[in-house]
Every structure is written in structure tokens, then in C-alpha cells.
Amino acid sequence: MDNAALQKSALRTIELEHHAVASLASRIDEQFFTACKLILDCTGRVIVMGVGKSGHIANKIAATLASTGTPAHFVHPAEASHGDIGMVTNRDVVIAISNSGATVEIETILPILKRKGVALIALTGNPASLLAREADASLDASVEKEACPLGLAPTTSTTAALVMGDALAMALLEARGFTAEDFAFSHPGGNLGRRLLLKVGDVMHKGDDIPRVAETTSVKESLLEMSAKKLGMTTVSSSAGKVIGVFTDGDLRRFLDSGQPLDDTRIDTVMTTTYKTIDKNALASEAARLMQDNEIYSLVVMNDDDSLAGIITMHDLLKANVV
């Protein structure tokens, strides 16, 4: 095949799947609302089932539900017939995925599910099938044709089922008021968890690591404090212990340009009084955004009572993989 033929095949596939997905919009109806209510009222878990390619889609939908506030897991229908049906209780909701609506492994366990009193949601391409008729809610994911030119490999149908599953998961997410912080608790590993859960207080410099000088300190002595703490700045405190300013590397460059003496100049006469602060309980990702927006390297961290809690720098955030 030449490139033109390959392109034609790929574009045909995209167009068929695009049309199939667009057709789903008209099927967000009472059946969909019933499915949402069944899951929202569920006191157990959502069990997602499917065989073959539908099984792969079922696995993905279960994972999406579980990570967005709806406890869910995948059970293979064939294994269910050989003991795994014991994982399903009458407090659960089953989502059974079958394009034909006549998957033997699913039909085999339908009577058991009914006898257990399990709520059943069908996600099928055949609204007239036994599975659809037996379900408490039937989601129509039918398609006009598969993208496979042989009409055999599940392609368009699996895409439609996946999108319908995502639509269900997102509707449930919003109905539950699921937040970014809730999402982070399901994803504690990697950059996502760090960005969403790590607080400023977890990574800031505190205690003796905080550079600080009194307002009467000379610029020369302040430089010694800055050098010792290696944060490129120091806080300046009043006689009452309240932070009244900061002195940074940038302030030092401007001071040296002015030609004033290091020994005889008090730090409070050259410090910056309009510095940026952040609460120690704020997310570390918020500190990163504040630094980036203001093009600064560090922030003064405050306690709830407006006392000094610490210093956080962009380097700290880089080390913590927040940015």
C-alpha cells in the first residue's frame, strides 16, 4: 500500500468512530439517568464485566470509576461462572458490557445475578437483546458499522462503549462533588500525587534553617546570614519579632550599585517591604504557581497567626518534583 492508501484507511476509521461517538449524545436519556441513580444509591461496589475486547473496555471503565470516586472493579464473566460470582453481593451494581448483548458467558450468570437481587446495567450495541431486556438500565452504545473493513474486529463499537463509560464516570464524579484533592488520594504516587497533596509546610525550610536578621543589623552582617543559610535571601524582623521585610540577591545587586557602605548601612533601610507570602498549609503547587506568576525564586511562609513559619524556594519544589 502507498501512503495515500494508508491515509485513506486511517481517515475512514477516524470518521466512522467520530460519527459513532457523536451519535451517543442523543442517548443520554432516562436510561442513562437511571444508571447514574443506581450507582449513586449503591452501598457496595460497581462490578464491571465483559469478554474479549469488551473485557478490556470493562477493565478501563472500572479503573476510571474507581479513581473518580466510585468504588469499582472488574470481574471476568467466565471466571464468575467458576466461583468469582461470590465477589458480587446484593449491595453491588453490575455493569455488563456486550456489543451483541448475547455474550454467552454473561447470559450464563444473568439468572444468578437476578437471584442475588443485584442491580444490572447493560452497556450494549443491541437494545433488543436479552441482556438489555433483563437490565434495570440499558445504555445504548450501538454503531452503524465497525471501522474494520471486514466488519469483524471490534473497533467503532469498543470506542462507543468506552466513551459511554467515560460519560457515566464523569457524570457520577460531578454528582458526588469529587474534587482534585479527592482525586489525589486515589493517585498518591508519582508527580500527580505530589502536585495535589504536598503542602508547603512539608518542603519548606524551618527552624534554624530560616535566614533571619534584626532590623538594626548591618548589610554586611546580613550577607553573612544569607551566605550561611544559602537561600539567596534573608528575612528581616522587628524588635517584636514580626517579619517586616526581606533582603534578596536582587536587593544586594541594587545596593552595591548605589555605592553605600556595607558596614554602616542598616538592613531595614534597603530591604524590600512588599514581599510575597504563602500559608504553610497551602499546596506546594500553589507556591510554584505564585513564584512563576511573579517571577521570583522564594516565598516567605507564614503560620495561621501571621508569624514566620519558614522559607520555600523554587529549588525545593524542583527537588520535590512539584514542578
Where does a domain end: 146, 178, 210? Answer: 178
Q: Domain for residue 228, yes or no?
A: yes
* Residue 129 and residue 251 in one domain: no
Which of 115, 144, 178 marks a domain boundary? 178
Residues 106 and 70 grouped into a single domain? yes
Percentage of residues in the chain having pLDDT higher than 70: 95
* Residue 60 in this model has a pLDDT that exceeds 80: yes
Of 163, 170, 161, 140, which is closest to residue 52 (Cα–Cα)? Answer: 161
Q: Report which of residues 23 and 1 the model is more confident about.
A: 23
Residue 49's DSSP bridge partners are 96
**pLDDT single digits (tens) 124-174:** 999 999 999 999 999 999 999 999 999 889 999 999 999 999 999 999 999
User: Do 212 and 90 belong to one domain?
Assistant: no
**Mean pLDDT of the 246-256 span:** 92
> What is the domain-level CATH number for residue 99?
3.40.50.10490
What CATH number is associated with residue 239? Answer: 3.10.580.10
* 124: CB partners within 8 A, 6+ apart: 96, 97, 98, 99, 100, 101, 131, 132, 138, 139, 140, 141, 142
pTM here?
0.67
Is 52 inside any structural domain? yes
Same-domain status, 99 and 61: yes
What is the H or E stretch that residue 201 is in?
Answer: helix 200-203
Domain enclosing residue 219, as ranges: 200-319
Residues 33 and 168 in one domain: yes
pLDDT tens string 182-220: 676 666 565 666 666 789 999 999 999 999 999 999 999
pLDDT at 320: 84
Number of domains in the chain: 2
Rg (CA), the chain: 30
Is 18 among the domain residues? yes
172 plus 260 within the same structural domain: no
Are 78 and 144 found together in one domain? yes
Within a domain: residue 186? no
Please check whether residues 162 and 228 belong to one and the same domain: no
Residues 159 and 219 occupy one common structural domain: no
Do residues 245 and 122 both lie within one domain? no
- DSSP-based three-state secondary structure for 64: helix
**Same domain, residue pair 239 and 119:** no
117 and 30 within one domain: yes
Which percentage of the chain shows pLDDT scores above 90?
Answer: 82
Q: How far apart are CA 249 and CA 231, in angstroms?
A: 9
> Domain boundary at 147, 178, 209, which?
178
